[in-house]
Structure 1
Amino acid sequence: MTTTNGTLLVVGSGLKVYREYLVAPISRRARAAGLDLVLLNNLNPSWQREYFDEVVVANLFDSETLAAAARGIAGRRNVVGLMCWDEPLVLDAGLLAAEFGVPGLSARGVRGCRDKELTRAELTAAGLHQPGFELTTAVERARAAAERIGYPVVLKPRAMGASIGVVFATDASELDEAFRIALAASEVDPGPYRASVIVEEYAPGPEISIDGAVHKGEYLPLFVARKYSSDHPYFEEVGHIVDGADPLLADRDLIGHLARAHQALGIEDGITHSEVRLTERGPLIIEVNGRLGGDLIPFLGRIATGIEPGEVLFDVATGQRPDTAPSRRSVAGIRFNYPESDCLLRSVTVPTGAPGLVTAAPMAEPGTALRLPPGGYLARHSFVICEADDTRGVQDRLTAAAALVRLDAEPLGPPVPDAPFAMPAGLLDVDE
């Protein structure tokens, strides 16, 4: 197929339940602009057919295969923009955008986002508040690093997402097991940062995330999400709340801190998802991800602010300064529902009606084994999303809606000792 139209290339669609709300407005904008929309995906299309002019299927989790497929498309099409929101693919996609000469994070910027050690080094060198840290590949070095940094510490894979393999160690007695868990998770990463663990100083304080657009180096915040996590030693994300009138959006220190961080990392164009701890010493950036937030946070942002994240992504990918002014003020939240213990899912039923309920959906198919850390991650069987006028109202509505979820499951025995870590299905595009 050869066309004279400009082409916007999307690398990886993601799950329908998580990403269709982005794809639909991107498709509308592309058609209005006379651009073809092409998807490079790892599985045959199903729901995607409605939105894309062409779908090319390849193994996206092999860097050489992904690059060859993308170059093949660029060889017969005029690629004017490239976008990606799937964490394992962000690095390859960002490097391809730089190679094709289209707007993107920049080669330096995407590496600074994907490599957590480089993020720490760049932000520390720029004089921004950062924790003590050290990259390790052996438990002996991890022990020495923790002693130097001072307990408690956090151990995490060098390049993973969704808090997979992130473990809290109170003291030396917990260090070895925490290192083993983080290393096992890191070995799943197919990229250049696998099989390595960062040991870093624990930063107490509330955790938030900020999705922001970057246009020619200018940082434009979109919305703030307040994060709710599981108890230590793990950091599983159990929910988020976005307030369209969150005062942090007007906090000059916070927004200025983020702008300096993006400049230090060399980020040029794109959308980022920054995770920040609000500490006694001020904001501390945990990481800057070179993509939109996961966990349907941008969907919450759309409900709460009226900002359409798909349109913002289209604008920055095509070199335009996006309109980030909110058009409404509301509060939206999501609650992820987990089993109390490891189980084999038989069925899950979600509510179709409840006060303030926007939507609810199952997140796992019958027959799925749901394992909690450290045997597994993201053992979510469903979610509920609610809207209200204030944070307390959303919290109450989420609790009421979650109570209406019905789970049928049978207990699972413990995982096989030393079994290889398996990537949670919820992170991969498994739509057929």
Structure 2
Amino acid sequence: MNPYADTLLAIGSGLEPYRKYLARSVHARARELGLNLVLLNNIEPTWQRNYFDEFAVANLFDHEQLRARGREIARRRSVVGLLCWDEPLVQPAADLAAELGVPGLSPEGVRGCRDKHRTRTALTAAGLLQPGFQLTRSLDEARRAADRIGYPVVVKPQALGASMGVVLVGDAMELAAAFDTAAGASAIGDAPFRGTALVEEYAVGPEISIDAAVDQGEYLPMFVARKRTGHEPYFEEIGHTVDAADPLLHDAELIRTLAQAHRVLGVENGITHSEVRLTARGPLIIEVNGRLGGDLIPFLGHIATGVDPGAVLVDIATGRRPTVRPTRNVVAGIRFGYPRQDCRVRSVTVPAHATGLVTAAPMVEPGAELRLPPGGYIARHSFVVCEAATADHCDELLDTAVTLVELDADPLEPIVAGDPFTLPAGLLDADA
């Protein structure tokens, strides 16, 4: 490490199962460019020590602490770029980047993405296809909104990711429980968005996600993921598949819609993860996130296309034109293991070998409590990743690989109605 070299500051590492691959890629690209890497994180580093040159620890959920530590690092080092891929931290990271005068997603751009009501309002005003919607602060408001929009509706928190607290509501009898779920889930989010719920028209059609770079206003798609959901009426994301040859990468209407949406939301530079429903009326943007996708989707994208999302992230963060041209042409997919009921984990064993298996890993430690919606979310005990020449074959390999995962667990009584929902132990990169 050269202590006088230009520095990239990363805000939050995320969890090892979800983000280690990204830290590895970022480290490799930073070394190619002669850059140091400094991590400002919630907890003392463990696995991160292999990828960062210096560490600072602070309560990053206290945004004043985050800014103060970031300023202190910038006084000692020549910070030329700032990285953040951790959803709860993208707004304060963008604020700090603007203060330091380094490239990246602007604070206004992040706000346009993170606040789902703001996103809906802006895209609707711009004439883009959007569902009917209303932000509500009480059950009575939600009832009036749903009656006006017409059932079925989707009720969701205003500013959370990973489909937490999102519920499909078929009729008025189901609305009260759904509002409680969405508004209750919002309690783990930023203070301005707590206690609210967005009521939306349900958009019918398959759901996809697109990870892309935005360079000086130009939208540069990297890869498309086909999403698999489960645990209805909730929207738990149980798997994704990325095909390097997916025709949607060249769908003019889809790419034009996404490019326009990014302009409307004020996204000039950065990396985004957009979720879209392919409806009979055309592509309908569900949300735009001011970060790379989660659920190891960028890892799948790297396997399938050869495009390295960590390298793209570093280039965008330092004002360089990124390379998004594919160098591979295969299909990669992931499937997450969920318990059949709420449980306390004894052990998780994943396969070491299977046809097409790229990697597999447990996602929780013994003793972790896993609770399914509405008492909990993202109750994953493991994942498997497979590679194949076609999407159908990849799905077959994933179906086989996931059956080889062994979960030993004790059942738990369901959460009592009205109790706050829980996240699996270790889901957030913070001390217990």
**TM-score, normalized by length of structure 2?**
0.97
Are the equivalent residues in 1 in contact too, given 2:375–2:420 (CA < 8 A)?
no
Q: How far apart are the structure 1 equivalents of 2:237 and 2:420?
A: 23
Residue 162 of structure 1 aligns with which residue? Answer: 162
Q: How far apart are the structure 2 equivalents of 1:264 and 1:402?
A: 41
Q: How far apart are the structure 2 equivalents of 1:290 and 1:129?
A: 20
2:303 match: secondary structure: helix
Are the equivalent residues in 2 in contact too, given 1:40–1:55 (CA < 8 A)?
yes
Q: How far apart are the structure 2 equivalents of 1:430 and 1:243?
A: 34
Q: How far apart are the structure 2 equivalents of 1:87 and 1:126?
A: 26
Residue 65 of structure 2 aligns with which residue? Answer: 65
Residue 15 of structure 2 aligns with which residue? Answer: 15
Q: How far apart are the structure 2 equivalents of 1:271 and 1:428?
A: 22
Q: How far apart are the structure 1 equivalents of 2:56 and 2:191?
A: 22
1:379 aligns with 2:379: yes
Instruction: Please state how far the C-alpha of 1:422 moved relative to its aligned partner.
Output: 3.0
Residue 30 of structure 1 aligns with which residue? Answer: 30
Are the equivalent residues in 2 in contact too, given 1:15–1:431 (CA < 8 A)?
no
Residue 401 of structure 2 aligns with which residue? Answer: 401
1:325 aligns with 2:329: no
Residue 171 of structure 1 aligns with which residue? Answer: 171
Are the equivalent residues in 2 in contact too, given 1:95–1:110 (CA < 8 A)?
no
What are structure 1's unaligned runs of at least 5 residues? none
Question: Which residue identity lines up with residue 21 of structure 2 in the other structure?
Answer: Y
Q: How far apart are the structure 1 equivalents of 2:393 and 2:417?
A: 44
Question: Which residue identity lines up with residue 406 of structure 1 in the other structure?
Answer: E
Question: Which residue identity lines up with residue 285 of structure 1 in the other structure?
Answer: I
Residue 262 of structure 1 aligns with which residue? Answer: 262
**Structure 1, residues 155-204: CA drift from partner, whole Å, max 9, x if none?**
00000010000001111111111000001000111343222110111001
Are the equivalent residues in 2 in contact too, given 1:16–1:431 (CA < 8 A)?
no
2:379 match: secondary structure: coil
2:378 match: secondary structure: coil
Residue 42 of structure 2 aligns with which residue? Answer: 42
Are the equivalent residues in 2 in contact too, given 1:188–1:421 (CA < 8 A)?
no
Question: Which residue identity lines up with residue 291 of structure 2 in the other structure?
Answer: R
CA change 1:426–1:124 in 2 (3 A) is: farther
Residue 76 of structure 2 aligns with which residue? Answer: 76
1:289-304 aligned at under 5 Å gives the runs 289-304=289-304
1:339 match: secondary structure: coil
1:418 aligns with 2:418: yes
1:350 aligns with 2:350: yes
1:276 aligns with 2:276: yes
Residue 199 of structure 1 aligns with which residue? Answer: 199
Counting aligned pairs with the same residue, the percent is: 65
Q: How far apart are the structure 2 equivalents of 1:21 and 1:181?
A: 33
Residue 115 of structure 1 aligns with which residue? Answer: 115
Q: How far apart are the structure 2 equivalents of 1:392 and 1:358?
A: 17
Instruction: Please state how far the C-alpha of 1:431 moved relative to its aligned partner.
Output: 9.1
Residue 359 of structure 1 aligns with which residue? Answer: 359
Residue 97 of structure 2 aligns with which residue? Answer: 97
Residue 311 of structure 2 aligns with which residue? Answer: 311
**Structure 1, residues 332-357: CA drift from partner, whole Å, max 9, x if none?**
10000101111111111000000000
**TM-score, normalized by length of structure 1?**
0.97
Instruction: Please state how far the C-alpha of 1:231 moved relative to its aligned partner.
Output: 4.3
Residue 145 of structure 2 aligns with which residue? Answer: 145
Are the equivalent residues in 1 in contact too, given 2:377–2:422 (CA < 8 A)?
no
Q: How far apart are the structure 1 equivalents of 2:268 and 2:206?
A: 29
Residue 210 of structure 2 aligns with which residue? Answer: 210
Instruction: Please state how far the C-alpha of 1:105 moved relative to its aligned partner.
Output: 1.2
Are the equivalent residues in 1 in contact too, given 2:154–2:200 (CA < 8 A)?
yes
* Structure 1 residue ranges (4+ consecutive) displaced by more than 6 angstroms after TM superposition: none
What are structure 2's unaligned runs of at least 5 residues? none
Question: Which residue identity lines up with residue 401 of structure 2 in the other structure?
Answer: A
Are the equivalent residues in 2 in contact too, given 1:46–1:431 (CA < 8 A)?
no
Are the equivalent residues in 2 in contact too, given 1:6–1:79 (CA < 8 A)?
yes
**Structure 1, residues 24-51: CA drift from partner, whole Å, max 9, x if none?**
1211222232222100000001111121
Residue 243 of structure 1 aligns with which residue? Answer: 243
Q: How far apart are the structure 2 equivalents of 1:335 and 1:162?
A: 15
Question: Which residue identity lines up with residue 298 of structure 2 in the other structure?
Answer: P
Are the equivalent residues in 2 in contact too, given 1:254–1:283 (CA < 8 A)?
yes
Question: Which residue identity lines up with residue 261 of structure 1 in the other structure?
Answer: A
Are the equivalent residues in 2 in contact too, given 1:188–1:422 (CA < 8 A)?
no
1:187 match: secondary structure: helix
Query: Please, what is the CA RMSD of the aligned residues?
Result: 1.5
Are the equivalent residues in 1 in contact too, given 2:376–2:421 (CA < 8 A)?
yes
Q: How far apart are the structure 2 equivalents of 1:208 and 1:322?
A: 23
Residue 338 of structure 1 aligns with which residue? Answer: 338
The aligned length equals: 432
